[in-house]
Amino acid sequence: MNRRLWGFLAGGLLVALLLAGVVSNFASPHPDGLDSSLRQGCTLDADGEIIGGSCPAQQEKEHEIGGPLADYGIAGIDNDFLSTGLSGVLGVLLTFGVAGGAFWLVRRRGTPASSQG
């Protein structure tokens, strides 16, 4: 790979890590479109908790499996800012690692260029 491509990949990784580690903490606390549509028909209190009505969101449950990265944080870290930032950074690194490995495997399995003399 040439230097220009490595620079592009490193720059992209750096931007993704900054967004995941810092900017993710400033994301809106309000429900996204899917959550909002699932809450239609319910009555909510000031904290956004369902207190009445009828909507699909009443059927939601806590994570049955849980896990170290459940609910956009890292289990065991009490500081919400740090927990959210670290989980974002870990997610970016895992995604880059898996995607990089997949591209590497696909490239290695590709047919070699035939040399014509």
Per-residue pLDDT reduced to its tens digit, 43-69: 989 888 889 999 998 888 876 776 787
Question: Is 92 part of any domain?
Answer: yes
Question: Is 66 part of any domain?
Answer: no
Q: Which of 45-49, 91-95, 102-106 has the lowest mean pLDDT?
A: 45-49
Question: Is 20 part of any domain?
Answer: no
d(CA 52, CA 79): 32
Question: Is 104 part of any domain?
Answer: yes
Question: Is 21 part of any domain?
Answer: no
> What is the number of domains present in the chain?
1
Dmax over CA atoms of the chain, in Å, equals 78
Residue found under tokens 């003399």: 117
pTM check: above 0.85? no
Question: Is 73 part of any domain?
Answer: no
Amino acid at 78: D
Question: Is 47 part of any domain?
Answer: no
- CB distance 52 to 43 below 8 Å: yes
Containing domain of residue 92, as a range?
78-109
